Structure 1
Amino acid sequence: MGVVTPFPLAPGQGRPGQIGFDRPELMRILDLYGRMVAAGHWRDYAIDLGRDAAVFAAFRRAAERPEYRIEKRPALRNRQGMWALVNEAGAVLRRGHELGPVLAPVERRLMKLVEG
């Protein structure tokens, strides 16, 4: 058989050089995004996969700052939790260890948009 070469790690560190979303996490985020698009509230999104965090940003219009950012920071896993919901002004609205409760304020807002 052939030789398997592992992906290179960041120099001097035992962690990958890029943080990303797992498939179930991204599915949950994109499901929420799709429902907000269907409600006519969001129109665009961006994903930033960096060394310290993976960020999903949702926009009302493409030329604005994102209305919400969903951030995954594994370095905070043992402290406040690796998930954070950040508003347009940069204030952290919710932080936690699980994605579902962090997305709850946006889910509630979606229910108000659909009802009204």
Structure 2
Amino acid sequence: MTKFMMILAVVVLVGCSSNPSNQIDVPGKGAGDSLGASANESDAALDEAAVIRIAEQAVQANDTWADRAEYSAMKDGDEWIVLVWRIPKVPGGHRSVRIDAAGKVIDYTRGA
């Protein structure tokens, strides 16, 4: 029974990875680092055009098709979510980029 509990504990620990395989690290997630946001954008409320520029830079940093993509942004409280579709649209060819009020990328999720 103890052997079973040890195996179960290892499985749980391995399964609780802090960086799931469908998410990647993005420049701009560090403290004080705002990817693509100028000082004016950080101080003022971000608009749709600004968050799309920030999301485009995040896609450029992580994929090769930023210039062949369709971007749509929506506000979610104090944050923005930008849905990015690679053109032509293919299964898994989308990204979700979450941007905080300061213009920092706080989540970059690959499509499944």
Same fold (TM over 0.5): no
Name the TM-score, length of structure 1 as normaliser. Answer: 0.34
Q: TM-score, normalised by structure 2?
A: 0.34
Structure with more relative contact order (C-alpha pairs < 8 Å, separation 6 or more): 2
